[in-house]
A and B are shown apart, each in its own frame.
Chain A
Amino acid sequence: MIWNEPKECMDREEMTHLQGKRLRSTVEKVYQNVPFYRRKMQELGVEPEDIRRIEDIKYLPFTTKQDLRDNYPYGLMAVAPSEVVRLHASSGTTGKPTVVGYTRKDIDMFSENVARSICCTGGNRDDVVQVAYGYGLFTGGLGLHYGAEKIGAAVVPISGGNTMKQLTLLQDFGSTILACTPSYAMHLAEVLAENNIDPASLKLRIGIFGAEPWSHEMKEKIEKGLHIKAYDIYGLSEVMGPGVSCACGIGEGLHVAEDHFYPEIVNPETLESLENGELGELVFTHLTKEAMPLLRYRTRDLTYLNDTPCDCGRTNVRMASVKGRSDDMLIIRGVNVFPSQVESVLLSIPEAKPHYLLVVERKGAMDTLEVKVEIDETYFSDEINAINILKNRIRHQVESTLGISIKLTIVEPKALERSEGKAKRVLDLRKEEEK
């Protein structure tokens, strides 16, 4: 079912026209109400009247996460404080948190887009949606909650964690949709197996997973382990939360709600615009947001766009699953390394578990990468030699994928921390030293 056919299946030309119209009004609004944007546009010599069509977006300034931090907490709000009905914030792991405000209309728009996403994955009002995303400042829990209620589904607002209770409710409530991070879905699948619960005995049929990049191999493992069809939902609090885009049943990308968020792909180094199909950094401009509209917000997520109509009937542009974040990207001895590359390799090796930790250190002038991997219990041996052979095989495969030499360390099963939210995959001790 398509939740909002007029918008999701809109003729391309009509969509471009609508986007242009909405961009004009957003630009006018931020120019008048947000000193930060007025100054930035003046510096570039751009007046609101210069923006007529969507193509003119290229004249507008970019916004970064640092800009949000610099204007913490309310500096980028474009409405009076009384108009704001909710605040969300992203975790401040790498600095101050970033705060995002929503007006009542913004919350409606958020719910509308999550409703579209759930329908995109095949969900409907008969579903029971177990929301195992965290509720709170993180947008995942409340985002899915409002969207699921909007389509008339039953919501189980269990939030993240409490794994045994998650399993009990999956069994007792007959939840048909599970929404959480992919790493937590993987953990649930493992615990299900440990407790000898046949996933086919559950009513669960759809998984809506997001908030961290995951590989195709991981998707297959989760689908098998939970006996479901898994869909990638994408979003970030700065833009809205989950539901900025979502995968459909065709499996060739995530439909972007482009009547609300205009996507662009740019070269992260030069910021020059890239064509459809070219891999680069995803940038969003708000077209309808009231409380805190952002111009050309740099997501740091790497992907590419495809604007050909989809077999599912939607015409909204599709983005590929995020390949990695330019933030997560580690530069080790001049080579770009993404945690997702390591994950893909590990998932292709039956003896290895997809639980890993990358530890980067600087020894003298030399950066070293240690990959800690858990080995499946059934494969370890009483002979050091056999473990070494396995270790070398894994090391060789990781090295040939990454293109740099690594230290591979095998750790006891379950030695690495399991996440109930976003998984911690990287420990960059070079940064710790700088602090």
Chain B
Amino acid sequence: MIVKQLTAFLQNEPGRLEELTSVLEQEKINISALSIAETEEYGIVRMIVSHPEKAEERLKNEGFSVKTTLVIGVEVPDEPGTLHHILKRWADGGINVRYMYGYSNCGAARLIMKVSDPEKATQILEEENLWSTVGWNAKDCIM
């Protein structure tokens, strides 16, 4: 499924990430997935959160640079070759993967992927019956 991901552009300096999580904490917003891409001077924080609209508004008010992007969130069996199979079908379909992050636990792997064409990528997954949404608890971000 296509989910809303919140992206924040942060100065790479001590305390800046803490300022961001403090806003979320105050608003009782839960983070379901998080990845930080860092460079020497800045970091890009990508998050799946429980209330993306509210989180975006509150963070903007606090002076953060935030925007919402659409990514694919899936849960697949935690077995060798699953990711490869998805990537192969996408490669055949001309879909480019921009970045991804995820983890696996208790027999299931959850992945967040940014791809060049999310609609088409989802369609391929549906055709192949390769994915599941079971256990995804950040319901508000589902498109």
Using CB atoms and an 8 Å cutoff, list the residues of chain A in contact with chain B: 375, 377, 380-385, 387, 409-415
Contacts and interface: CB of A to CB of B under 8 A. Distances in A.
6 contacts: A382-B5, A382-B44, A382-B67, A384-B39, A384-B44, A411-B41
A382 B7 CA distance: 6
B65 A384 contact: no
Interface in B33-49: 37, 39, 41-42, 44, 46
Interface string B97-136: 0110000000000000010000000000000000000000
A413 B37 CA distance: 18
Instruction: State the 4 A-B residue pairs at the shortest beta-carbon distance, nearest first.
Output: A382-B7, A412-B11, A382-B69, A377-B65
B67 A380 contact: yes
B98 A415 contact: no
A414 B114 CA distance: 28
Contacts of A387: 42, 44
A382 B44 CA distance: 7
B81 interface: no
Q: How large is the interface on B (under 10, 10 to 19, 20 to 34, 35 or more residues)?
A: 10 to 19
Given A412-B9, A412-B10, A383 B98 contact: yes
Contacts of B65: 377, 380, 412-413
A414 B42 contact: no
Nearest to B41: A409
B15 interface: no
Interface of B: 5, 7, 9-11, 37, 39, 41-42, 44, 46, 63, 65, 67, 69, 98-99, 114
Contact of B11 (A381, A382, A411): A411
Given A410-B41, A413-B65, A380 B9 contact: yes
A410 B9 CA distance: 10
A383 B41 contact: no
A415 B10 CA distance: 10
A384 B63 CA distance: 21
Contacts of B69: 382
A375 B9 CA distance: 10
B114 A383 contact: yes
Contacts of A377: 65, 67
Nearest to A386: B98
A384 B38 CA distance: 8
B11 A384 contact: no
A293 to B, nearest CB: 50
Given A409-B41, A413-B9, 14 more contacts: A377-B65, A377-B67, A380-B9, A382-B67, A383-B99, A384-B44, A410-B41, A410-B42, A411-B11, A411-B41, A412-B10, A412-B11, A412-B65, A413-B65
Given A413-B65, A414-B63, A415-B11, A382 B46 contact: yes
B114 A411 contact: no
B70 to A, nearest CB: 10
